[in-house]
Copies of this chain bind each other. A is one copy, B any other.
Amino acid sequence: MLSPIAWSTPPKKYGPWESVVSLLTEGLVKRGIDVTLFATADSHTLAKLHAVCPRPYEEDKSILVKVCECLHISEVFERANEFDIIHNHFDYLPLTYSSLVNTPVVTTIHGISSRKILPVYKKYNDKTFYVSISDAYRCSELDYIATVRHGIDIQDFHFNENPQDYLLFLSRLHENKGAKEAIKVAKKTGRKLRMAGFIADQEYFETEVLPYIDNEQIIYEGHVDPKRKKELLSNASALLHMINYEEPFGLSVVEAMASGTPVIAMNRGSMPELIRDKETGFLINSVEEAAEAVQKVGSISRKKCRESVEKRFSVDRMVDDYIKVYEIILEKCKREFKMQK
- Chain A positions near chain B (C-beta within 8 angstroms): 63-64, 66-67, 70-71, 73-74, 77-78, 80, 92-93, 96-97, 99-101, 114, 116-117, 119-120, 123
Chain B residues within an 8 Å CB radius of A93 = 66, 70
A64: chain B residues within 8 A (beta carbon): 114, 116-117
Chain B residues contacting A71 (CB-CB under 8 Å) are 96, 119-120, 123
**With known contacts A119-B71, A120-B71, A78–B100 Cβ distance under 8 A:** yes
Residue of B at shortest CB range from A64?
A: B116
Residues on B with C-beta less than 8 A from A77 are 100
Pick from B63, B74, B80, B116: contact of A96, CB below 8 A: B74
A-B contact pairs, 20 of them (CB 8 A): A64-B116, A66-B66, A66-B93, A67-B92, A67-B117, A70-B92, A70-B96, A71-B96, A71-B120, A71-B123, A73-B96, A74-B96, A74-B97, A77-B100, A78-B99, A78-B100, A80-B100, A97-B100, A100-B100, A100-B101
- Distance in angstroms between the alpha carbons of A77 and B123 in the assembled complex: 15
In-complex Cβ contact of A97 among B80, B92, B97, B117 (8 A): B97
Whether B101 pairs with A70 at a CB distance below 8 angstroms is no
User: What DSSP secondary structure best describes chain A's contact surface?
Assistant: helix
In the bound complex, do residue A99 and residue B74 qualify as a contact, i.e. CB atoms below 8 Å apart? yes
9 additional contacts (CB under 8 A) given A66-B66, A70-B93: A64-B116, A66-B93, A67-B92, A67-B117, A71-B119, A71-B120, A71-B123, A73-B96, A100-B100
Residues of the B chain whose Cβ atoms lie less than 8 Å from the Cβ of A78 = 99-100
Partner of A70 from B74, B116, B120 at Cβ < 8 Å: B120
A73–B74 alpha-carbon span in the complex (Å): 14
| Bound Cα distance A71, B117 (Å) | 10
Query: In the bound complex, what is the Cα–Cα distance between A266 and B92 (angstroms)?
Result: 45
- A114: nearest chain-B partner, CB-CB: B64
- In angstroms, Cα B66 to Cα A120, docked, is 11
